[in-house]
Structure formats: structure tokens, C-alpha cells
Amino acid sequence: MYDVVIIGAGVVGTGIARELARYKLNIAVLEAGSDVAVGSSGANSGIVHAGYDCKPGTLMARLNVQGNAMFDEISRELDVPFKRNGSLVLAFNEDDISQLELLMTQGIRNGVPDLQILSGEEVLEMEPNVSSDVIAALWAPTGGITCPYGLAIAMAENAADNGVEFYFEHRVEYIEKKENGVFRIVTSRRDFAARYIVNAAGINGDVISKMAGDDSFSIHPRKGEYCLYDRKWGNTVKRTIFQPPSKMGKGVLVTPTVDGNLLVGPSAVDTDKRDDDYTSAEGLDFVYNIALKSVPSLSGDGVITVFAGLRAIADGGDFIIRPSYKVEGFIHAAGICSPGLTAAPAIAREVAAILARLSGELEPNKAFNPLRKGIKRFRDMDWEARAQLVEEDPRYGRIVCRCETVTEGEIVEALKSKLPVNAIDAIKRRTRAGMGRCQGGFCTPRIMEIVERELGIPMECITKKGGSSRIVLGKIKDFLKEGEGIE
Amino acid sequence: MQLICILCPRGCHIEINQGEDGKWEVKGYACKRGRDYAIQEATCPLRVLTTSIWVEGGNHRLVSAKTDRSIPKDKIIESLKQTKGLTVKAPIDIGDVLIENIAGTGANLIATRRVDIKQV
Amino acid sequence: MNRKTEVAIIGGGPAGLAAALSCYKHGIRDILILERDEYLGGILQQCIHNGFGLHWFGQELTGPEYAQRFIDEVNKVGIPYLLNTMVLEITKDKTVYAVNPRHGLIEIEAKAVILAMGCRERTRGALKIPGGRPAGVYTAGMAQRLINIEGYMPGREVVILGSGDIGLIMARRLTWEGARVKMVCEIMPYSTGLIRNVRQCLDDYGIPLKFRHTVIRIHGRERLEGVTIARVDDRRQPIEGTEEYVSCDTLLLSVGLIPENELSEGAGVMLDPLTGGPIVDEFRQTSVPGIFSCGNVLHVHDLVDYVSEEAEIAGEGVYRYINGRNPSADDYLLVMPGNGIRYVVPQRIYGDSDVEFFFRPNAIYDKGVVELTDGDRVFASKKLLRMVPGQMERLRLKREALAGEGKIKSLQLRWRGPDKEDDGACS
């Protein structure tokens, strides 16, 4: 019996798990996917927004600004890359300028610090690759960039270190509230019992809510497609470059990523499919063409991968973070679209406060350790630190992923981490092996050898991302059948 | 019959026909090997088979292998099936015979890579 | 580990091995090969098919056999090499920084450096093929490694995009392992691989080669379920109404190779956008004096024999460099690709030796002449029955040909003959 079951291990669910681990609670996180952050949290812009785009008075506005302010501390505690690179919203005409003014007013009301409207010249001075058609920009120095799945992984690992249990590939299929007030949660693997449920199910937040008997809102998926550029393009801009927002969102941005690539996107297309993470030629063309308006020198080449993610838009558009009005003990953290990543640490606090209100005072967990150490990053070390590391453990002297300079030592660290890691994508997201320009062409077979050796998983059983995503389907000679020819 | 010679990267387009006297008329080849190839291809096409064999106790999982001469194209599949289930022991040197007279073709399957004993 | 060496060779594949031996042959004794893999031979070790060595050895060898001949030679003359050694940085003044598990961090001061890192494959991401991101979409070279080095089958039902040589070779290899290769789609109206590979790898097994076709969608979330293919127009855009769903569990990409020059760029070496490799002179010296380049890192070859040949030239270049050959930028005569030519290597010449030009056409051409000219005079020429983009061609310029009155400003390599062949011939 758990005090709290959190459904969903995205950036919201893992953040809540970590926050609740500060209290003496028995907590489980149930995740349908094979790893943390496999939904929206794994496919977004990675921006820590300043908070000027949200309508004043909304939950979004408050939690965005609060969350933004928490990032320095949380990224330090959790050893997650984070950089306040600042963001610029470009204006190309008078209409745009009035938009900037509106954003500035909103931002000030939301409590965003240090906002400033810059002239076109000032913008070009800061960002020479931005279109010379720019006539002004809103400058928000508190804007930042982080690694969205890296943050979720870190929060989950820290939660796990502090006693939270994680169950992957446990898809919630049925929820009932028994007469004694305890929830019975049926998953694709086993049943769970819990006093409280936190709904952090992302794109399926309404589905989970309905399962529990609360149909008070629905979620509408909105797809966003992205192009990720080679590191060579990583310095094209230093700040995150926006255009004035539209009804559909913050528009197409051009930004460096915290890992040194350049990211362009997203498109914004409403879809009715909750698993529609396919990219499309139209979407990618759209993203590129709009981005050209911000950065005209952007090449069509240099893209190393494309991806799409879904944003969970709730009715009304605002976050839904409150107890269910229909089902006692059921707490929503739903409809978390942009700026959900930024808000995640603040959402976690909000949920903890709600739980405290519902259950009475929460008893602090004195043993809680807020610190988590990430996997060593050979590529980011100086010469002396590298030398010492290889001296201590020669596995750090064997480069497995040559594009991103990832060592065998790092891969092994990932495999031995607190959460179960055995799929190629899970290793990739923790070490960056396979994230570079050859996209795993060289290192995937080598990583498979290490997985086989370290975890004893036969090569044929190693997956890309769990489920049926096996990399190879058999040994050589296996498909040669006796008595059959080749057609 | 139109052929593309596969003996070298030049890829000559060769035309070969059998005259009434049973003699081959060959056109379009650039060297004598091409002419011979065309006649062979028209009568009994030959190919070199290359494959890999599992190795036990070696510093590589597999040893690459080839037939030491061309074998009839229609014997390729039978030859491949003969490699199924075969595991050879390290050490292996280039040229070592892995399967003698594969599929009765008269050709041997020989190793094309050196595999040393795995150092523990 | 810190050490000095006369020549540091980055890469122990066919280019690096041949370059090392060439240096040795020219009397250089202080050579060091740095190889990132755990064995020498590079990608040849996974190319278990035959067809290598006809030019260089006069006989047909498999990739591992071809490599072993060079490895044996390197061992015989005792050229040292470091395995599992990744070069992290090369500086303009030819200091090489590397790492391996045995020696840890390695700093090498070299008098000359030969870049022989090879190339990598273009990926699905670079092509921006839309759709899902399931397992089962691999480059042909990765599939080749999985099968020939690891011993595992990437799949049973395969579609191959691109008719590059590795893709063609893999079509046959997969077929021989009992997988079903349903088709090869090629966006161009001709094969980008060698004709003989189309013949012996596809035609032999009735595998259709669909020209002017590409993959426009990848289906599947966990494992690949199928692809949508479509015919393309002259601008290589998919034609509406020609879409066709093909079920498959594996998509292999053989859509081009990219010289891997991140290290070269770090050393300040200037690249040729046409080849993706360094701009070199006739001895394969790059824009940084003392840094040379050969093999697929310089431009993508279709025959390893030519890689060996080019590496030998680079080795001689190093010898000459160490002994004082040091042309300044102004001394060079530029060589540009003219009509019908996609690229030419070397891109500039000093004129102190005969020059072997390697080049590729930009389309298929029949019956004409390739000539090296300054606009007025022709310095070298060669008749060709046919030239195709999938096949590298060569032309030799005699040193004496450039002698004579009048300073030549620049040279152009061009095709003189009928216009490019109508694409229809290949369908």
C-alpha cells in the first residue's frame, strides 16, 4: 500500500516524485513507457521560459515565473546542465512592436525581472546572425536552456535515491476507489493500492482522470516538429530567438541547446491522435521556412535529426493543478503544455501543498538528500581531469561514441544507474552516445556489446526503446531454412 | 544475350550469342577475361561465395570466409546452408580450410581473416 | 604519454596503412599510426565480400585479406601503431591529442600529419525522412557491421534506400542469410554504385532496383512496420498519386558517404565543399603545411585500390615536405571542375611532379573527351566511352606538359562531347 501513486514519469511526474520524497511518504511512480520522459518531456524545445507569454493571473503565469527562479538551484543540486542564455522576441514591423509591448506589460505583471525592449541595432550587435530586418526585440535575460529529459532523469534518480519506487512499462488500465477510500490501480503488469493518486499522465491526463471517475476536462494533443542541427551550427545564435507568438503558441524558435547543438522548431498542428509523434514533410518545411525569417543564413543541410512531440493542451488552455472535484484523493497535474518544463519544479511544490491540505501536515523526511550526481562527462572535462579519470579507470579512455566523445566508462555508469537502463535510447539520453552527427551508426553495435557484457542481455533482446523495438532480429544463419530456396 | 561483366569495376556491356555452328559470338568486352566471363555466364554462371562462420574462443566473434574458387551460382544456397550450425575453433589463419568441397562443388570454403585465441 | 614523431598517421584503415608504408619506403623511420578501433584495417574488416585488389595486387581479394596484406607489411617493417586510440584534437602546429585505455591521455608532437580518418554515412536524420522513429532504420554500413562483425541480422524483410555500393553489397549479403530484400529505391535515374554490383547483387537475385523512387514515410513506433515509397519528379520531389506502402521490418540507407573532417577543421585545414574533404595539392598536402590527407577523408572513393594509390602519393608528399618542399599559396595553380565535372582532386598543383587527377562527373555522359585546359591549350586529355557519377575517373598530367611559355593562371577539367545522357535510359 502506497501513500501516493504518481501516474506518469515525465518531467512533471518525476518532479512531483522528488518533491514528495522530502516527506515521509511511501511513493510509487507508474509509467507506461520504458523510461522517464518518453512523452512530451522527451521531445520539446528544452527552454526555461522567462514567463512573459502567459496571460497574467493564470496558473501558468505564476508557476512559470516561480519555476524559472528555481532552476539555478535545482540544476545545481541535480547536476543537470542549465544555462541562462536569455531570450529575444524579434519584431519585424510595427504590429510586432505592439506585440512586444504587450508581452512586456504581461511579463511585468507576471513578475518577470529585467525585461527590456532593444533596438534592431542592439539586437544585431548581440546576435549578428539574426535577420537584419529586425527592428526591435524584447530581451528577457532570465530565459534559459536545459536538457528536458536530462532534468527528468535527474529528478527521477534523486527521487529513487530517496526511496521512491519506479515501475516502467506499467500502463495504468483501470482505477477504482474502494469503500475504505483506498485506490486500486490496475496496470498492464500488476495492481497497486494507494491513498492518493497524482495524475501526471501528460497527453493521457484526461484518460487517466476519466478512469478514476472524473471527466471534468479533456486534453487536446498539439504536435510540434523540430530539426536538430549539427554542433557546427551550435553558435549560430547564443540566445533563444523567438518571433511574436500566435494563437497556437510561442511560434518557431531558433536556439542553441544546452549540449551545443542548434534546435529549430516547433510547428503547431492540432491532432486527434495521442500517439502521433510522426514528423511530416510539411511540418519540417514549415519550421525551416519560418526559422529562416529569424536567421536567414540557416542552411537546409546540417540537420542531424528531426523529431516531433505532442503538447497536452487542456480545455481553457491553462494548467490544471488541483484536487479532483469528483474523486476525493485524486490530484491533477494535467494539461501541462509549454511552459511545463520551466514550471515543473513549481508544479511539484504546488502538488505537495495540495497533498498537505488534503492529508493534513506532511511529516518531513529528515534523511532526504537533495543532491544527485550525474554521469561523468569526459567531453566536458579539462585535460588534467581527463587524464586522472583514465588513470583511475581505463574504461574512460575508450571512446565509444566518436561524434559526441562518450567513453565506455560513461556507458557502464549509465547501465549501473539507479533506474533500470538497458535500451539504446535510454543510454543515449543519459550519455549522449548516438546523439551526434552519425546518429549511432558507429557506436550502436559497440554499445550493444557493452550491454550484453555488463547486463547479460543477449544481443537479440536489446531494444531501442523497450517493447518490441529490438535492434536485431536474430543471429546470422538463423533465417536460412533447410530445404527452402531464395526466391 | 546482354551481360554486364562483373570481373572488374569497368562493368563492360557485353553481347553474347550462340551462332548456328554452336560457336559463341561475343561483342563489347575490353579484355580476354571479359570474353571468357561472358561465355561462362552464358553456359554456367559462376560466383565466389563470401560469408562468415562463428568462432569459438577467438578474439573475434566471427571469421570471414570465401570459396577458394568460383562455384556455380545455383550451388550458392546449398553451400550457405552447409555453413549453418558450423562453429570453428580459434586460432584461424587466412587460407585455413573451414569446409572442404562445399556442396560438392570441388571448392573449399576458406578463412579470409586471421582470428587469434582470445586473451582473457 | 608524451612523445615526438616525424609522422603521425590518423587512422589505421587502408589509407593510413598504405600511407605509413609509403613513408617507410621513402626512408622515414619515425612513424606512428593512431587507430580508434581495436584492430587495424578499418572498415575493410567488415567488407567480407570480394572484389578488392584487382588494380593493386592484380587479384581479387576480400576486404579482410586486402587489409591483412598491408597489416603484415606494417608489422614486418615494424611501424608502431596504437589501437583503441581516439584522436581528440589536432592543432595547426601538428600536435596531436589522443586518448586510449592503456596510455591514458597522449600528446604527440609530429613534424607531419597524415589525415586518414575515412568517412561516415549519411543518415536518415540528414535526409529528414518523415514518419516515426522505430528501431529497424539503419545505415547500410551499420547493418554490415552488425552482420559481419557481430553476427546478427538486422531484420528479415528489407527495403534499401539508395544504390550506393554498400547498400548493394548488403542486399546480397542479406539475401544470402535468408532475409528477403524487397527492393532498392534510388532517387536518381542511375545507380550511384558500381554497375557490377547492381548485376551481381541485385539482378542475380531478382531484387528490383527502382530508379527515381524514394522513401517518403517511415511507419512504426517500436519496430519498423513499413515504408511509403513514391516516384519523384525531375526536382526529386515525390509525385502525388505514386505513393506505395511496402511492409518491411528493416530500412537500410545507402545514400552517400561524408568525409569525416571535424578533426581537420579543428586544425584549420580548408575544405572543398564539393568533396567534403580538404583542398590538397598533387602530393595531397592540405592548406596547412605538413598536414596531408588521403583516402575517403579526402574524397569518397569507390575502389580501395585507388585509396592505396592515393595514400602512397601522400607518403611521398610527406617525405618531400620533410626534405624542404614547401610551396606558398601563390605558387599554386588552381584546378577547377568545368563542364560535366562534379569535383576534381587535387584542387591545386605546384607542378613539381606528374599529377594523377581523380574526378567524378555530375551525370552520365557517353563518348567524349575529358580534358585539362586553361581555356586555350589542352595539357592532358583522355577519351571516355562513358562516365557515370558512381565511378571515379582519373586523368594523368605529365609534368612536362605544363612547361613552355606563358604563365598559366588556372586550369579547368572539363568534358567535351555529347550532353548528358537522357535519364530515361535507366528505368
pLDDT for C424: 41
Q: What is the residue-level pLDDT of chain C in tens, covering all 427 positions?
A: 899 999 999 999 999 999 999 999 999 999 999 999 999 999 999 999 999 998 999 999 999 999 999 999 999 999 999 999 999 999 999 999 999 999 999 999 999 999 999 999 999 999 999 999 999 999 999 999 999 999 999 999 999 999 999 999 999 999 999 999 999 999 999 888 888 899 899 999 999 999 999 999 999 999 999 999 999 999 999 999 999 999 999 999 999 999 999 999 999 999 999 999 999 999 999 999 999 999 999 999 989 999 999 999 999 999 999 999 999 888 899 999 999 999 999 999 998 899 999 999 999 999 999 999 998 899 999 999 889 888 899 999 999 988 876 678 899 999 998 777 654 433 3
- Name the average pLDDT for chain A: 96
In DSSP terms, which residues pair with C344 in a beta bridge? Answer: C359
Angle at B86 between CA B82 and CA B92, to 5 degrees: 115
Question: Which domains does chain A possess?
Answer: 1-82+143-218+315-374 (3.50.50.60), 83-142+221-310 (3.30.9.10), 378-461 (1.10.10.1100)
3-state secondary structure A213-260: CCCCCCEEEEEEEEEEECHHHCCCCCCEEECCCECCECCCEEEECCCC
CA distances from C344 to A182, B34, C270, C378 (A): 76, 30, 15, 16
CA distances from A441 to A301, A438, C139, C157, C262 (A): 19, 5, 6, 20, 17
C68 contacts in B (CB within 8 Å)?
94, 113-114
pLDDT of residue B119 exceeding 80, the answer is yes
In chain C, domain spans: 2-120+258-326, 123-255, 349-426
Asked if C2-120+258-326 and C123-255 have one fold, the answer is: yes
Q: Cβ B85–A486 below 8 Å, yes or no?
A: no
* Architecture in CATH of C2-120+258-326: 3-Layer(bba) Sandwich (3.50)
CA distances from A417 to A38, A389, C371 (A): 18, 19, 63
Q: Cβ B66–C62 below 8 Å, yes or no?
A: yes
User: From B52, which residue of chain C is nearest by alpha-carbon distance?
Assistant: C148
Share of chain A residues as helix, strand and coil, in percent rounded to the nearest 5 = 35, 25, 40
Of C345, C69, C312, C304, give the one whose Cα is nearest residue C166: C304
pLDDT per position as a tens digit, A151-183: 999 999 999 999 999 999 999 999 999 999 999
Q: Cβ B76–C176 below 8 Å, yes or no?
A: yes
Question: What percentage of residues in chain A have a pLDDT greater than 90?
Answer: 95
Shortest Cα–Cα distance, B81 to chain A (Å): 7
Cβ atoms of A48 and A379 within 8 Å: the answer is no
pLDDT of residue A141 exceeding 50, the answer is yes
Q: Which amino acid is at C101?
A: P
pTM over 0.90: yes
Cβ atoms of A274 and A204 within 8 Å: the answer is yes
**Of the partner residues C130, C135, C155, the one whose CB lies closest to the CB of residue A281:** C130
User: From C51, which residue of chain B is nearest by alpha-carbon distance?
Assistant: B8
Rg (CA), chain A: 23
pLDDT for C318: 98
CA distances from A138 to A55, A61, A64, A120 (A): 17, 18, 18, 10
pLDDT per position as a tens digit, C238-272: 999 999 999 999 999 999 999 999 999 999 999 99
Q: Which chains touch A (3 or more CB pairs under 8 A)?
A: B, C
Of A428, A457, A456, give the one whose Cα is nearest residue A441: A428
Question: Which domains does chain B possess?
Answer: 2-43 (no CATH), 50-111 (3.10.530.10)
This complex has an ipTM of 0.94
A6-10, A129-133, C54-58, C259-263: least confidently modelled range: C54-58
CA distances from A137 to A89, A98, A467, B116 (A): 5, 11, 46, 66
pLDDT for C418: 79
**Residue A49 is among the residues annotated as catalytic for this protein:** yes
pLDDT for A106: 96
Rounded Cα gap, residues A224 and A43, in angstroms:
9
Q: Quote the CATH superfamily of domain C123-255.
A: FAD/NAD(P)-binding domain (3.50.50.60)
CA distances from C41 to A405, C18, C48 (A): 22, 10, 12
